[in-house]
Chains A and B, each alone.
Chain A
Amino acid sequence: MRRNDILLRFALLIILAILIFLVNPNFGKPANLINILRQGALLYILAIGMTIVILTGGIDLSNGAVLALSSCVAAIAMERGLPIMVGIIISLAIGMICGFVNGVLVTQVKIPPFITTFAMMYFARGLAYIFSHGRIIYGFEKSFRFIGTGNIFGIPMPVIFSLLLLFIFYIVLEYTSFGVNIYAVGSNSESSRLVGINVKKVRIIAYLLSGFLSAFAGLIYTARLNAAEPVVGASFPLDAIAAVIIGGTSIVGGEGNLFGSAIGVLICTVIINGMNLMGISSLWQQFVIGSIILIIITTQTYTKSAKINIPILRSRKIESFEK
């Protein structure tokens, strides 16, 4: 069933790409395709964290603000002359702390994830303004900017990072105990507790990873723009959630995967890129993405209910034979 869901989305992606290509052949140029990947890379790094959190049955509305906070702090550290590595480490640590606090509030104080991460969004945003005094911090060393603007064999660094993270987290989710526990906690937290899984620990680590990935995305973003400012990323949480949902991850947790989210991100990016190429006002972008969400989830629900019916019919038949 899961494979079909992925195929459905992949087919949609291909159809969209072909349609856009037919209208504007410029879409198919290698430079543009690489551009799409680069545009999608940042969102995808956030989407990985969001997927993990949503798989555990949570949500993270704070990733944009955490991104702003951690990148501002890294920028200030580097501005003050600290080594690049120190800046990077501080930034990642701040992301992880924010994620950890989210996780603790959700699991220990038992505040719903929605409110916890919404509060964290305000808090991190406020801190970002306080630390940066509301100004744009710009001008970084070349070696730092490489992680945002560099290429290896013509492939932009952000794309390389996002592929690397996809690989690592795919292995983590599919081939480690932690990954299985994530799915278990998201699909039935009480059963997971009864078999001895430390449900709280799994949830906390999920938020911590999301915080880490937000900070990581923040570094790439800062390096690419050569600037850090406290206002960035207000729309990132919803963009990431939209991409994850389009990618087929269930909003109640326990179902979905990172390939789905990758396709979700690509669908969003291809639409935006295609609309730009066709000269359609960017004001329509959200309209199209919203429609895609509704259409794809409706289609999936119908195909799923059609499939669920079959085994029920089959087992009924067997029972009647036995009698």
Chain B
Amino acid sequence: MTGHILLKGENIKKSYGHVDALKGVDFTLKKGEILALVGDNAAGKSTLVKILSGAISLDFGKIFIDEKEEHISNPAASRALGIETVYQQFALVDNLTVYCNVFLGRLINKKILGGIPILDKRKMQDESWKVINLMGIKFDSVKRKVSDLSGGQRQAVAIARALLFNPRIIILDEPTSGLAVKEVNKIQDIILNFKDKGISVIFISHRLESIFATADRIMVLRSGVKVMDEENDKITSKDVVEKMFAIEHKK
């Protein structure tokens, strides 16, 4: 874990009306590191993810990528910076085919008749087929509509979308919720695989086993404040639970 600091957030604040979702959070993410983001409901995890992915904008604070300050004003800007997000509900469009979903927002065009941009369906089909197969989840065709897919297959499409554009950072918001045990293991393998490729990962989950099996570092949020930020091997799940729910030590 000796990579340089790729992503850094300073004093990030966000409130919705009277509710302060984030009350000034600092964090760092190194290259090739898997950072687990843990917290109870309404701890501010999702808000932080949404800020990084450009779905909402922050009220206060700075975000640095490679020590350069960046403003992530919309999802396209986040993607342009090499940040890919796999949302909790996958953010898939049911009525479209698998390959259109994989490339949604960045569809590939080819020029015909001297400059008219037409979708390059063949190329998109081939590339999405390749990426999805890499993950080892069974698929018969990428021309299927997403509405016909199972939960695991949908997850694969969502991850394929993140993987395809050589991201530097992948954010996974509850990637294992609602999946069977077998599929959870597969997702964990995929996350470890990212690390081997040098991709940094921010990983949100309720499942502590998954977190301890994959993460290098664990960051705990409680009511919008960072309460813990430790290397995986220096803490136990008991420490994490205590911090999450603010349980006092009875010694």
Contacts and interface: CB of A to CB of B under 8 A. Distances in A.
The answer to whether A and B touch in the complex, with CB atoms under 8 Å apart, is yes
A194 B53 contact: yes
Given A176-B117, A191-B92, A195-B91, A184 B75 contact: no
A183 B104 contact: no
Contacts of A193: 55, 75
Interface string B111-123: 0000001110100
A184 B118 contact: no
Contacts of B85: 194
B106 A191 contact: no
A188 B94 contact: yes
Interface string A86-120: 00000000000000000000000000000000000
B220 to A, nearest CB: 26
B190 interface: no
A175 interface: yes
B106 A194 contact: no
Contacts of A175: 118-119, 121
B79 A196 contact: yes
Interface string B89-125: 0111111100010001111010000000111010000
Contacts of A309: none
How large, as a class, is the contact surface on chain B? 20 to 34
Interface residues of A, number: 24
A180 B161 contact: no
Contacts of B55: 193-194
B95 A254 contact: yes
Contacts of A190: 91
A176 B104 contact: no
Contact of B100 (A171, A180, A315): A180
A187 interface: yes
Contact of B105 (A186, A195, A311): A195
User: Main secondary structure on chain A at its contact with chain B?
Assistant: helix
B94 A177 contact: no
B203 to A, nearest CB: 18
A255 B146 CA distance: 13
B208 to A, nearest CB: 26
Given A190-B91, A196-B79, A184 B104 contact: yes
15 contacts: A176-B118, A177-B117, A180-B96, A180-B104, A183-B93, A191-B91, A191-B93, A193-B55, A194-B75, A194-B87, A196-B54, A196-B106, A198-B76, A254-B94, A315-B150
Interface of A: 171, 175-177, 179-180, 183-184, 186-188, 190-198, 254-255, 311, 315
Interface of B: 53-55, 74-76, 78-79, 85, 87, 90-96, 100, 104-107, 109, 117-119, 121, 148, 150, 161
Given A176-B119, A183-B96, A198-B76, 12 more contacts: A177-B117, A180-B107, A184-B104, A188-B93, A191-B93, A192-B105, A194-B53, A194-B87, A195-B105, A196-B54, A196-B105, A254-B94
